[in-house]
Amino acid sequence: MTPPVNCLPVANPSPALSLSSRDGLGTYLVALWRRRHFAWHMAMGGMRSRNSSTTLGLLWWMLDPLILGGVFLLVFGVILNTRRGDPNYIGFLLSGLFAFTYTRTTMMRGANAVSSNASLIATQRFPRMVLPLSAVIEGAVAFSVSLVPFFLIAGFSNGDWPGLHTLVLLPAIVFHTMFNLGLSLLVACLVIPFRDIGNVVGHIARIWMYLSPVIWPLDERLANAPQTLARMLEYNPMAGILGLYRTALLDRTSLPYHWWGSAAWALGLLVLGVIVFRRMEHKLPRYLT
């Protein structure tokens, strides 16, 4: 049985406990930074509790995307033959799938981060943004762990070992994490007053994955796509982010929109998510009671 999150240790009292809706954003972010250790312990506690009853435990953080990647490889790479001459379709598929899994898990857990901690919100005064932040930290750690089997598979299957191109992984992860945090904050704000949205987040994420260049390259999708759909795919935030990952992991050429698109989406969504969540935060106890 998963232990309640509010049983986790709370940091010693600090100025964060005196936050009110009238405090400025700078004061709020300082208080949030002081709670960074609390967010980390919540994330690690969540990881342990999700797999505490299984034999392999935390190894499932690597096995889950690998098994899913095997299923996708069988269906799309073998049966439907979407690889189309790509010498490292395995690396292409896994790099997209692992990265998108990071977004999907933070999106889904961010949706439940606030509602599942109603008792903690009712009994403690702290920056509530810690809750979606802990979901993003948990997803980031799981994604980092999944890179180990990825490099082994891509290296032995096609010789794609880490090199100088792997340095692009740092900005890719930074942009990706900023984007995921902003997305998690926005989804949490929507789910709180409209609980039914939480039931469809998983379906939305699945549709989004098929509209993203996860399974096959974006240029193949745009070749015969209707004009409206082509525009949507071009401005898909995951297109730029996945492009950076494939540069870092597979040494493929990065295009300018991979950089400016990733940076623009990451910064824009993060700023929007912080502002919206901060304005709604003081209403949380009313919605959760």
pLDDT in tens, 21-73: 556 788 888 888 998 898 898 888 877 777 666 656 567 767 777 787 788 77
User: 136 Cβ partners below 8 Å, 6+ apart?
Assistant: 106, 110, 177, 180, 181, 184
Contact between residue 156 and residue 64 where contact means Cβ atoms under 8 Å apart: no
**Looking at residue 153, what is its pLDDT?**
86
Tell me what pLDDT residue 52 has: 64
Looking at residue 154, its pLDDT comes to 85
Q: pTM score, two decimals?
A: 0.83
Q: How far apart are CA 153 and CA 229, in angstroms?
A: 33
Query: Given this model, what pLDDT does residue 221 score?
Result: 59
pLDDT in the model for residue 120: 77
> What is the residue-level pLDDT of the chain in tens, covering all 289 positions?
444 444 444 444 333 344 555 567 888 888 889 988 988 988 888 777 776 666 565 677 677 777 877 887 787 766 766 666 566 788 888 899 899 999 998 988 888 887 777 777 777 778 889 999 999 998 899 899 888 888 988 888 888 899 999 999 999 999 999 999 999 999 988 887 776 677 788 889 888 988 888 887 766 656 666 767 666 777 889 999 999 999 999 999 888 889 999 999 999 999 999 999 988 887 776 666 6
pLDDT, position 274:
93
Domain boundaries, the chain: 22-288
Q: How far apart are CA 213 and CA 48, in angstroms?
A: 32
Count of beta carbons in the 10 Å neighbourhood of residue 4: 12
pLDDT score recorded for residue 166: 94
